[in-house]
Copies of this chain bind each other. A is one copy, B any other.
Amino acid sequence: MNETPPGVVDLLGVLAYAELTAFLRLAEDAALLAPSLTDRAALGDVAAAEYGHFRLLRDRLASLGVDSEEAMAPFVDAIDAWHEQTKPSDWYEALVKAYVGTGIAGDFYREAARHADPSVTELVEEVLADEVRSAFTVDRVRAAIEQDPRLSGRLALWARRMVGEALSQGQRLAAARPDLAVLLVEPGSEDLAEIGRLFARLTEAHGKRMSALGLTPGP
């Protein structure tokens, strides 16, 4: 018998698949796009950290008596599609993806986890702690923009494309998995106002990341 709410299984499942995929895609970006062995190793560091997160989530699913393959399966198409639409074409796009793309996805998971039970909230917070990712990518991107200010426009566009694709896949998922969608909304609140506040929080966090990179968030 499994007493875990289906929304929580969905949350852990989508996050597990997101982390497994981030690990593999970042490793691929590191192998294909890093301009030096030091950079390759540094993005490899980020990739390996994502793998550690995947393991935490897989272990939690197992301890809840849930098969992680089954829990991840509903989210494979949406997450794979997002990565297909956001394949970085150079090193700086890869860095911005590692920071901004993973960041906005993380905000969604964090929002969903707020309404789960405390042990799930804690696990999700642990998985999403992103100090490794931040310091390295922010330094590299800022330095590159200082050297070549034209880079800033291209990378800002790239970041907006990633956010657009994330929203599009997010809506697709929310429609397909109502139990997960419901986690995003405070119980008992007015749905529309709450969704408005949710988007305000997500937009604010995204804006902070863009500023950290030295990029303009705006349209």
Contact = CB atoms under 8 A, between A and B. Distances in A.
Given A48-B48, A51-B48, A52-B48, A41 B25 contact: no
A47 interface: yes
A82 interface: no
Nearest to A43: B24
A2 interface: no
A170 to B, nearest CB: 21
Contacts of A24: 27-28, 30-31, 40, 44
Interface in A135-190: none
Task: Kindly state the interface size class of chain A when it binds its partner.
Answer: 20 to 34
A30 B17 CA distance: 13
A23 interface: yes
A25 B44 CA distance: 11
Contact of A28 (B20, B28, B69): B28
A37 B25 contact: no
B36 A20 contact: no
Contacts of A73: 37
A46 B88 CA distance: 25
Contact of A44 (B20, B37, B44, B69): B20
B23 A44 contact: yes
Nearest to A37: B69
Interface string A15-34: 00100110111011011000
A200 interface: no
Interface of A: 17, 20-21, 23-25, 27-28, 30-31, 36-38, 40-41, 44, 47-48, 51-52, 54, 58, 68-69, 72-73, 76
Given A20-B40, A44-B54, 9 more contacts: A24-B31, A24-B44, A36-B69, A37-B72, A38-B69, A41-B68, A44-B51, A47-B51, A51-B51
